[in-house]
Amino acid sequence: MTIDLIIRGATCVSHQGTGLTDIAVRDGIIVALGHFDEINAKTSIDATGLHILPGVIDTEFHIGSDGVPDYRAAIKGGVTSLFSVGKIETEIPCDHAFYTPATLGNISKLHDLEQEEGCAAIHLSMAASNDLDVIADDRKLLKVLKNGRRRVVVHAEDQMRLDERRSNLEKGNVNSHSLWRDERVGLDAMRRILAIARGAGRPVHVQHIAGEKEMAMIAANKDIATAAVSPHHLFLSAPDCYDKYLTYAQIDPPIGTENNRIGLWKALNNGIIDVLASQHNPQAIELKDQDYPHSPSGCPSIQTMLPQMLTQVNECTLSLQALTDLTSAGPARTFNIARKGRIAVGYDADLTFIDLTKEWTLADEDVETNCGWDLNAGNTYKGQVTGTMIRGETAMWQGEIKQGVTGKPIQFQDTFQEFEDE
């Protein structure tokens, strides 16, 4: 058997646990795991001293206000696959899929739309957030969930309560963002969508959950619901974030109190959370500098999501195995992704190389986002992404982004098409 690539000497995080394992790759697929001292390959990588994780799958990636995907930031952050809100029309190194937005005009077509190549799911927004299409009425929500069979991704904020509380929004005061979009905005939406999903017999995946009480509701409905959390909500708390970052910390749903932040970590450690997703939504500086509420919600995060969590691994608040489940196996399981999410024979050689002992600081000049800023610039981490490999091709190594790697549409097990009769 001809081997294209052997990666030697690394500590791999796989279904067998964490241990020294060589990885053999042919045609972009993992073909063997073990110790291959006597086997030659066309290419060999010495990864001694590094850990290898299954490639990070980011299921919440917004293209940004300039229309250009932040693929450099993704690659630097160890991301090998990403799901975008809206199709990515340009060539990028990461494998990619997209969410098809549910609108009032396409409800009857959703069953067919969710079967398109590269479609990860139907995306449903229950409230206005930047330019997302909104479906807020319960009858329309039920129609959406009855039209199709795959898991529906939900932005769960209650538009009716937002309309009622608009008087709490203070011009020029970004602190009022979390007063306007209060705790009940998320709770009311969660209560409604879980009831509708159960009535429709349709599973849902709730994105970027911001509140501890919402996590408790998910825990009581795990037969129909999965949950994602973003690093913003895990690492920031109000009102300090607004005092420090002003409108740059403005996201939807808003960052909550310190007690809420601690509650999200409890939910994560108790296994309620299925997916860690970046909620990467970069906005231009000139837009963020506008007076609230004219400033758009969203901030970049894909480059630093994994380093933030690796620091927690080093501080013993999270295991490497649990982190891998949140960033790789969890997304693959939730969305029925084919051949991704594990270091195992038959799976794509999507790999994230990390130096778990490396202490480093994200300098301003190292920020790869097109918008040119990151809330985490200047922060110090322990644990650095040193390589990103996509189907056996090195997209980034030791900080250098390689040319010539081309991403492909992600395949899903629940959209497998039978061969046509000849």
pLDDT in tens, 318-327: 999 999 999 9
State the span(s) of the chain assigned CATH 2.30.40.10.
Answer: 5-53+347-371+378-401
Q: How many helices (H) and strands (E) does the chain have?
A: 14, 19
Confidence label for 68 from pLDDT (cuts 50, 70 and 90):
confident
What is the model's pLDDT at position 39? Answer: 86
The fold for domain 56-335 equals: TIM Barrel (3.20.20)
State the span(s) of the chain assigned CATH 3.20.20.140.
Answer: 56-335
What is the model's pLDDT at position 402? Answer: 95
What is the model's pLDDT at position 419? Answer: 62
What is the model's pLDDT at position 91? Answer: 93
Classify each residue of 307-319 as buried b or exposed e, where b means 16 or more C-beta atoms within 10 Å of its C-beta.
Answer: bbbbbbbbeeebe
What is the model's pLDDT at position 2? Answer: 81
Q: How confident is the model over 326-342, as a mean pLDDT?
A: 98
Distance CA 133, CA 227 (A): 21
Confidence label for 40 from pLDDT (cuts 50, 70 and 90):
confident
pLDDT in tens, 259-315: 999 999 999 999 999 999 999 999 999 999 999 999 999 999 999 999 999 999 999
139: left (phi > 0), else alpha (psi -120 to 50), else beta?
alpha
Confidence label for 1 from pLDDT (cuts 50, 70 and 90):
low
pLDDT above 80 (res 399): yes
Considering only CA atoms, which of 78, 112, 113, 111 is closest in space to residue 98? 113
Query: According to DSSP H, which parts of 114-182 are helical?
Result: 138-146, 159-164, 177-180
CATH of domain 5-53+347-371+378-401: 2.30.40.10
What is the model's pLDDT at position 392? Answer: 98
Q: How confident is the model over 84-101, as a mean pLDDT?
A: 93
Q: What is the mean pLDDT of the chain?
A: 95
Per the model's pLDDT, the better-predicted residue between 15 and 112 turns out to be 112
pLDDT in tens, 198-212: 999 999 999 999 999
